[in-house]
Chains A and B, each alone.
Chain A
Amino acid sequence: MILRRSLLIGAAALAMASGAPAAFAQEEPLKVGFIYVGPVGDFGWSYQHDQGRLALEKEFGDRVQTTYVESVPEGPDAERVLRQLATSGHKLIFATSFGFGDATAKIAKAFPDVKFEHATGYIRDVNLATYSGRFEEGRYILGVIAGKTTTSNKIGYIGAFPIPEVLRGVNAFTLGLQSVNPEATVSVVWANTWYDPGKEADAANAVIAQGADVIAQHTDSPAPLQAAENAGNVKVFGQASDMIQFAPTAQLTAIVDDWAPYYIGRVQAVLDGTWESQDHWGGLAAGDVHMAPYTNMPDEVKALAEETQAKIASGELNIFSGPISDRDGTERVAAGEALDDAAQLEMNWFVKGVQGDLPK
């Protein structure tokens, strides 16, 4: 009995392996894997990627089957998780943190029939694409709003770590700020963490106590929004998600990372057989970055914000167009030129108007 059953299973497996695999591929759902660097409950970076995954399930229903692995440490563990996903039938795998880059490149070589996508990365291969969002475009708009909102002309900016991604945001914000209010300055405070609600709130309270009346952040939790709301008379911007519920009278707008359109497009490409490796760096125009509703501001500021957004989306305004000098006076972008992507990716300087330490 046992023998016969195992024979039957063996026969079935043989049939699956040899007979008409293409037909099976049509009927079986496409397995899509995701690995996240943080918990899905961080309400920040990983949370937004997971929202993109859920959007996939909603869009494609039974045609896709998604798997996610959260809180994956960057390094050898990532390699192990990626290998596991690849061997368990996932045909499209999204690695959603910069630090997964080396592991993804290695596993992509080992599994040529699996397609990989690495967020915020730079290593590409025939089956390894990279993608990211130009969140700086949104930060420029935040700067414009801040410049029109502040009365103390002092803006607090909570940064996670002094890395190019964060410096790009600080500079875009400051350029937007000074385009409407050259008197205003940005005080950067490093929290030295991406995610520690307590510390993020402390950092916000510290800059508020030192006179800032508008707060921007590049850390992941909504704690600074709560701090601003509780302080009264302080305005604030949400990060990665619309965080209006944490600061109903203080949030002006938020930059929302919306990965859903990209994920849906890439899955569709795999289903259609048109997927190709590429480097996608989309911003307001592509819909990867959008702005939460403009609230708690006068109509003319809102109109200005909308106008700025439209100009950036249409390409009329390049946020890093020259002339731009760093705060030591060195010219970084000449008049009539714009900073290219490579220079943006390795930005290690502050523009004029930024106060705060910049470790070398």
Chain B
Amino acid sequence: MEAFVAAMIVAATPLLFAALGELVAERSGVLNLGVEGMMLVGAVCAFIVAKSTGSTAAGALAGAGAGLAMAALFALVALGFSANQAAAGLALTIFGGGLSGLLGRDYVGVPLPKPGPLFPASWAEAIPYGKAIFGHDAMVYLALASAVGIWWFLARARGGLKLRAAGDNAESGHALGLPVLRIRFLAVLFGGAMAGLGGAYLSLAYTPMWGEGMTAGRGWIALALVVFAGWRVGWVAAGAVLFAAVTQLQFYAQGWGWRAPSQFWAAAPYLATILALALLAGRRTAGSAPAALGRIFRPSS
């Protein structure tokens, strides 16, 4: 059971990074469908830097930077040139898939050591479930901390209020003197850095290796989590953990001898997450999509 909980937390981490980043971008009114592409480029750059410097931290930074650079490209097109956000985001995903494959060409089949746990091993042994709680590498705790930080920022900080204003009613925000485009630009860059970290977690810690397309759709799952969680940080985190839990459950349940077609297990994480979030989160937060989400804003004066 301890191994199950630990595996669940590990599997939730890349989703959490990517979904939290996308949530911030969407709350500012920008729909970026390029999460998968940003994750892939983040993963490959993180791997290359970690391999050549020997430092996981440097790799993670490079992953975040690469995701941010990809997001800047998207922001230039979607905000600078007012292009359609959905089309620009899809293009970013396709571009990211190709670019990461090209960059990672010489790194296929190259191993990387797994980063050690952040906390001393004695902590993990001191309490029940200690390994599931204290046994992870630093990036897992970074993901949790950023969930708390983003919740605080959006709910309590002045900057968060401005960001939400840009996403809910860009015209009014603009009339009040808010730099709507700058806010959105920064939110998109932050989203890219978080997606890059999500990718970096995959190639540095989850499975320390580079393989083309190794995100295997996690960027799309993160996007869906944001929607089903009603754009709320707590529910995004809960959704990521639930999705990861059911994903892990399929492997454990097969060993426990629970009989179900393997196709059912393949679909189960999606079904469970959609059901849980649509029923629970949907009921409590009626129509909480940012009102200006995906709409192009051009400052009139």
- Physical interaction between A and B: yes
Q: What are the residues of chain A within 8 A of B263 when measuring CB–CB?
A: 192, 359
A226 to B113, CA, bound (A): 9
- Check: A274 CB closer than 8 A to any chain B CB: no
A39 to B211, CA, bound (A): 9
Known: A201-B206, A206-B251, A359-B262. A230 touches B114 (CB 8 A): yes
A203 to B11, CA, bound (A): 12
A191 to B263, CA, bound (A): 10
The answer to whether B252 touches A41 (Cβ under 8 A) is no
The answer to whether A201 touches B109 (Cβ under 8 A) is no
Known: A190-B262, A357-B259. A198 touches B202 (CB 8 A): yes
Q: What are the residues of chain B within 8 A of A39 when measuring CB–CB?
A: 101, 212-213
- Check: B188 CB closer than 8 A to any chain A CB: no
A195 to B101, CA, bound (A): 15
Q: What are the residues of chain A within 8 A of B214 when measuring CB–CB?
A: 196-198, 221
B258 closest partner in A (C-beta): A357
- Check: A88 CB closer than 8 A to any chain B CB: no
A200 to B207, CA, bound (A): 9
- Interface centre among A39, A195, A198, A246, by most B CB within 10 Å? A198
- Check: A268 CB closer than 8 A to any chain B CB: no
The answer to whether B260 touches A221 (Cβ under 8 A) is no
Give residues of chain A (170-212) contacting chain B, Cβ–Cβ below 8 Å.
187-193, 195-203, 205-210
The answer to whether A192 touches B265 (Cβ under 8 A) is yes
Tell which of B7, B108, B218, B256 touches A202, judged by Cβ atoms closer than 8 Å: B7
- Check: A281 CB closer than 8 A to any chain B CB: no
Interface size on A, residues (CB 8 A): 44
What are 28 residue pairs bridging A and B, where the CB atoms are less than 8 Å apart in the complex?
A: A39-B213, A40-B212, A41-B211, A43-B108, A47-B109, A161-B262, A187-B255, A189-B255, A190-B254, A193-B266, A197-B207, A197-B209, A197-B211, A197-B216, A198-B202, A198-B207, A208-B3, A210-B252, A221-B209, A223-B207, A230-B114, A243-B109, A246-B111, A355-B257, A357-B261, A359-B261, A359-B262, A359-B263
The answer to whether B213 touches A201 (Cβ under 8 A) is no
The answer to whether B255 touches A226 (Cβ under 8 A) is no
A192 to B217, CA, bound (A): 14
CB distance from B202 to the nearest CB of A (A): 6
CB distance from A304 to the nearest CB of B (A): 29
CB distance from A296 to the nearest CB of B (A): 16
A41 to B101, CA, bound (A): 7
4 more A-B residue pairs beyond the given contacts A190-B262, A221-B207, A243-B109, with a C-beta to C-beta distance below 8 A: A39-B101, A241-B109, A245-B110, A359-B261
Q: What are the residues of chain A within 8 A of B110 when measuring CB–CB?
A: 245
- Check: A147 CB closer than 8 A to any chain B CB: no
A162 to B213, CA, bound (A): 23
- Check: A356 CB closer than 8 A to any chain B CB: yes
The answer to whether B3 touches A205 (Cβ under 8 A) is yes
Q: What are the residues of chain B within 8 A of A195 when measuring CB–CB?
A: 211, 213, 216
Known: A197-B209, A206-B251. A47 touches B108 (CB 8 A): yes
A156 closest partner in B (C-beta): B255
Known: A192-B265, A206-B248, A206-B252. A198 touches B206 (CB 8 A): yes
Q: What are the residues of chain A within 8 A of B252 when measuring CB–CB?
A: 206, 209-210
Tell which of B3, B210, B216, B254 touches A198, judged by Cβ atoms closer than 8 Å: B216
A42 to B247, CA, bound (A): 22
CB distance from B291 to the nearest CB of A (A): 35
Known: A199-B216, A207-B255. A43 touches B262 (CB 8 A): no
Q: What are the residues of chain A within 8 A of B109 when measuring CB–CB?
A: 43, 47, 222, 241, 243, 245
- Interface centre among A187, A193, A197, A205, by most B CB within 10 Å? A197
A245 to B7, CA, bound (A): 24
- Check: B173 CB closer than 8 A to any chain A CB: no
Q: What are the residues of chain A within 8 A of B182 when measuring CB–CB?
A: none
A residues with CB within 8 A of B: 38-43, 47, 161-162, 187-193, 195-203, 205-210, 221-223, 226, 230, 241, 243, 245-246, 355-357, 359
A27 to B105, CA, bound (A): 33
The answer to whether B247 touches A226 (Cβ under 8 A) is no
CB distance from A240 to the nearest CB of B (A): 11
Q: What are the residues of chain A within 8 A of B282 when measuring CB–CB?
A: none
A162 closest partner in B (C-beta): B262
- Check: B4 CB closer than 8 A to any chain A CB: yes
Known: A192-B266, A198-B202. A41 touches B104 (CB 8 A): yes
What per-residue 1/0 map shows which CB atoms of B231-272 lie under 8 Å from chain A?
000000000000000011011101111011111011000000
The answer to whether A202 touches B247 (Cβ under 8 A) is yes
A160 closest partner in B (C-beta): B262
Q: What are the residues of chain A within 8 A of B108 when measuring CB–CB?
A: 41-43, 47
CB distance from B85 to the nearest CB of A (A): 26
Tell which of B3, B4, B114, B247 touches A199, judged by Cβ atoms closer than 8 Å: B247
A359 to B264, CA, bound (A): 10
Known: A41-B212, A222-B209, A223-B207. A203 touches B261 (CB 8 A): no
The answer to whether A209 touches B3 (Cβ under 8 A) is yes
A222 to B111, CA, bound (A): 9
- Check: B179 CB closer than 8 A to any chain A CB: no
The answer to whether B262 touches A357 (Cβ under 8 A) is yes
- Interface centre among B11, B111, B251, B260, by most A CB within 10 Å? B251
A195 to B208, CA, bound (A): 15
- Counting from the closest, the 6 A-B pairs by CB-CB distance are A206-B251, A41-B212, A209-B3, A39-B212, A192-B266, A190-B262
A66 to B265, CA, bound (A): 41
